[in-house]
Amino acid sequence: MLIFYVKKEHAEFISEVEAETVGTGIMGRMGNKGAVAIRFRFHNSDICVVNSHLAAHVEEYERRNQDYKDICSRLQFRQLDLTQPPLNIMKHNVVLWLGDLNYRISDLDVDDVKELINKKDFETLSACNPQLKRQIDKEAVFDGFMEGQIHFQPTYKYDTGSDQWDTSEKCRVPAWCDRILWKGQNVQQSFYQSHMALKTSDHKPVSSLLVIGIKRINAEAYKKTFEEIVRNIDKMENECIPSVTLSKREFHFKDIKFMQHQAETLSLLNDGQVPCQFEFIQKPNEPTYCKPWLTANPPKGFLAQGGSVDIDLEVFVNRSTAPELNFGKQQIEDILVLHLERGKDYFISVTGNYLPSCYGTSIQLLCQLREPIQDMPQETLHKLVMSEVGNAVYAEKSLDIPKELWMMVDHLFRSAIKQEDIFQQPGLRSEFAEIRDCLDTGMPDSLPGSNHSVAEALLLFLDALPEPVVPYCFYQQCLESCSNASQCEKIISKLPQCHQNVFRYLAAFLRELLKNSDSNRLDVNILATIFASLLLRSPTKQDLAEKRRTQEFFQHFLTQGSA
C-alpha cells in the first residue's frame, strides 16, 4: 500500500499524478510480491515513490535482484500525451524506494548478530557486508541509490505483539529488511528511524524525513526567453531546413531467441542549422510504425542544433509473434521511416535471423518432430506448416505428446514432486534461457536450472501455444458443461488426439503432485487457478465468471479417480 498526502499550500503545484502496480510472482500473476508506485510533478520536478515487497528467505538474494529488475522494467506510467512512450521508474528527477526489501545478514550467525545488537554496535553490524550492501556494490541492484546511516536495531523478525526476537523453530537471524533509499540530486535526510512501539507485525516499521530540492521555473523569465527562441527559430527556418546524421542505416540482429531481449543503438546528430523534431512514422497500409517484435525508444523527440540522441532499437519475440517466425511465415525484416518535421525522411533497415523454438509452436507440429526444432531444416519446417503432403509424410512418425513437454514434466516428476511452493514461486530468467535452449537444441541431455525455473518454463510453454491444449472451438462447450463431470470427460474425448494426450498427461501429473500436498503445499484450487487459464484459454478476454467456470471444469480432472 502507498498513501500520498499533500499539504494544502502545495496542492496547486502538484500535477500529473499516476499510480501503477506490478506483481513479481510466477509469470507476474501469483504470490504477494511486487510493487506499488506513485509518480507526480511538483512544480517542475518529477518524483516517483515506490513501495516494494521482494522475495523472502535468506538464500534468495538473486530472486530479490530479479524482482527489483522486473519492477524497474515492467512498472510504467502512461503520459498525458498518449503518443509519448510510457515513463519508467528511473525517468524521474527523484526516486524514493521503500518497503520490505528482504535483504538479510548472511555472514554472521544469530548469536553474533544478537550480541552486536545488545551492544548497540550497529556500525559494526552494518559493516559485516550484509546482502543489500553487497549487491549494490556489485551494481546488481539499486545502482545510484543512496541510504542514510542506520542507527537503529534490525527491524525483523519479532514475535508478533512483542519486542521478542523470533522464537519459532526457524529462529531467523535479525536483519534490516525494511529500508528507505533514494536516487536524485539535492536530497538530504533529516532522520531515519524505526518505531519499536508498534507490535502489530513481525516487522518494525521505519520512517525517514527527506528534504528535497525542487526545480521552480520563473514564469516571466521563461516566457520572455521562450518568445525570443521562437523568434530566432522562425528566422532560421526561413533560411534552413532540418537535417540529421545517422550513425547507421542498416541493423542486423543475430540469433534472436524467444523471450530474449536484444538491442542496438541508433545515434542521431542534428547537423543542420535549426532545431528539429523527429518521429518514426507509419508506412502505407500498416497500423504502426514498426513490426510487433520491434520497438524504437524514444519513437519521437526534439533535437537542438548540434544536439544528439541515442535511440534504442529493441527486438523481443513473445508468444504473439513467435508462431509465424518459427516456421518462416514471417521474417525479421522491417524498414523504419524516420521523419523530420519540415524535413526529409530517412529509411532504416532492420533485419535478423530468428532461431525457431518449441515455444510458440503448435502441439500438432511438435508431435511430428522427433529431432530438436533447431536441428530441422527451415524448408522442412515450412512445409510442415504449409503443406498437407508434408503432414502426411510425418504422420507415421508422430509422437503421442511433444518431447519438450515430456522432458519438463518428467524432470518435475522425478525431482520436484515434493518441492515446496512448486508452480507458485517464480524461476530465474537466466535459467529459463538455458532450459529453452536445451529444449530447442537437445543439448545438454538433461534440463538445467532449479525446479522452480523448470516449472515456470512449463507454464510459459503452455501459455505460448498458438492453439491451447483445449482448442478454442471447444471453449464454449467447456463453459456450458463445467458443472457436469461426465460431460466434461466427453468434451476431452473429442479433442484432436495429440491435444487429448497432452491434456490427460498433464492432469495425471498434477494428480501425482496432489498426492504429495503435505510437502509441496498444493491443493486442487491452487492448481486449477494456475492451469485452467492456460489449458482453456478464451478466444477473447475472459471475465471473472468465465475464469471460475474454467477452473470448475478442470477440477473434475484433478480429483482422485478421474480418468
State the pLDDT at residue 191. 95
Same domain? For 484 and 532 the reply is yes
156 and 68 part of one domain: yes
* CA torsion through residues 373, 379, 384, 386, sign: positive
One domain, residues 232 and 322 = yes
Considering the domain architecture, whether residues 154 and 52 belong to the same structural domain is answered as: yes
Which domain CATH number covers 550? 1.10.555.10
Q: Does a structural domain hold residue 195?
A: yes
The tens place of each residue's pLDDT in the chain, 563 residues long, gives 899 999 999 999 999 999 999 988 776 665 668 999 999 999 999 999 999 999 988 889 999 999 999 999 999 998 887 777 889 999 999 999 999 999 999 888 999 999 999 999 998 898 876 899 999 999 999 999 999 999 999 999 999 999 999 999 889 999 999 999 999 999 999 999 999 999 999 999 999 999 999 999 888 898 999 899 988 877 766 667 888 999 999 999 999 999 999 999 999 999 988 899 999 999 998 999 999 999 999 999 999 999 999 999 999 999 999 999 998 889 999 999 999 998 889 999 999 999 999 999 999 999 989 899 998 887 777 777 664 334 444 444 689 999 999 999 999 999 999 999 899 999 999 999 999 999 999 988 889 999 999 999 999 999 999 999 999 999 999 999 999 999 999 999 999 999 999 999 999 999 999 999 999 999 999 999 999 999 999 988 888 899 999 999 999 999 855 44
Based on the domain organization, do 250 and 167 belong to the same domain? no
| C-alpha–C-alpha distance, residues 9 and 63, integer Å | 42
Last residue of a domain, one of 300, 331, 354: 354
For residue 60, give its domain range: 8-212
DSSP-derived letter for residue 299 is S
425 inside domain? no
Q: What are phi and psi of 417, to 5 degrees?
A: -65, -25
Q: What are the helix (H) ranges across 186-218?
A: none
276: Cα separation from own chain's centroid: 35
Domain count, the chain: 3
Nearest-Å Rg of the Cα atoms of the chain is 28
Q: Are residues 19 and 127 in the same domain?
A: yes
Q: Angle of helix 524-535 relative to helix 544-555, nearest 10 degrees?
A: 110
Distances (CA, A) of 532 to 169, 462, 504, 535, 548: 37, 11, 13, 5, 9
203, 162: one domain: yes
Please count the CA atoms within 13 angstroms of the CA of 1 that sit on its side-chain side. Answer: 1
Q: Three-class SS of residue 201? A: coil
Q: What share of the chain is helix, strand, coil (3-state, %, to 5)?
A: 35, 25, 40
349 and 275 within one domain? yes
* C-alpha closest to that of 435 among 415, 425, 420, 450: 450
Q: Same domain for 176 and 279?
A: no
| In a domain? residue 407 | no
Distance CA 294, CA 300 (A): 15
| CATH number (domain holding residue 249) | 2.60.40.10
Residue among 461, 439, 467, 441 nearest 376 (CA): 441
pLDDT of residue 562: 46
65 and 205 in a single domain? The answer is yes
Same domain for 265 and 206: no
Q: Among residues 152, 177, 212, which one ends one of the domains?
A: 212
Strand pairing class (300-303; 332-340): unpaired
Domain assignment of residue 359, yes or no: no
Gap between the Cα atoms of 555 and 366, Å rounded = 27
In degrees and rounded to multiples of 5, residue 462 shows phi and psi of -65, -40
444 preceded by a cis bond (ω within 30 of 0): yes
pTM metric for this prediction: 0.70
Spatial separation of the C-alpha atoms in residues 438 and 357, rounded to whole Å: 10
* C-alpha–C-alpha distance, residues 489 and 176, integer Å: 53
How far apart CA 174 and CA 493 sit, in angstroms, is 56
Residue 191 CA to residue 378 CA, distance in Å, equals: 64
Q: How many CB atoms are located within 10 Å of the residue 376 CB?
A: 17
- Closest of 537, 531, 555, 557 to residue 468, by C-alpha: 537
Instruction: Give CA–CA dist 546/533, Å, rounded.
Output: 10
Evaluate whether residue 187 is within a structural domain. Answer: yes
Which among 325, 354, 383 is the end of a domain?
354
92 in the same domain as 236:
no
